[in-house]
Amino acid sequence: MYIKEKHSKRDIVFEMDIEFSDITEAKQSIIDEFSLFENWVDRYEYIIELGQQLNGLPDNLHTEQNRVKGCQSQVWFEAKLKEGKIFFQADSDALILRGLIALLLRVYSGRTPHEILDTPPDFFGKIELGSHLSGNRANGLHAMINHIQSYAKSWVCNENSENQN
């Protein structure tokens, strides 16, 4: 994911144009960033800014096949396996969800299927996001996480069936 972010209220620069080599480091970076904000208004603004800067998907990938079921807003994910790692692109018509997508991609894109399946999204709990999302947004977040994990599971299943042949 390639995003450069400056949160003007705090004059804090968050540069996320580097890829985190370690999935735990990526999760910790999110926890650390959110700990800098004193209240949820600032955290929501930051999530929205992340959403505004997300590259998203080209319009031709906004298809029913790529749509995430279970989200009230429109959300689309595309995944490609390259050199044993899954790379995600995603988009939404809702800025808050786009921001949540940016966080998910930071942690899960560019990881092996096993890394994805072995890494719970516990960083959302650590930043207390669950208690500040509406029910519909929480359902959408859960649906996106399930979607990411289903991609990983399908590639693990394919890998296992290839190894058995």
Q: Could you give the residue numbers annotated as active site?
A: 71
- Of the chain, the end-to-end C-alpha distance in Å amounts to 35
Collapsed DSSP state (helix, strand, coil) of residue 151: helix
Stretch (H or E) spanning 5: strand 4-7
Token pair for 2 = 């390639």
Phi and psi based region of residue 83 (left: phi greater than 0; alpha: psi -120 to 50; beta: remaining): left
CB 3 within 8 A of CB 20: no
Phi–psi pair at 151, nearest 5 degrees: -60, -50
Half-sphere exposure (CA, 13 Å, Cβ side) for 139? 9
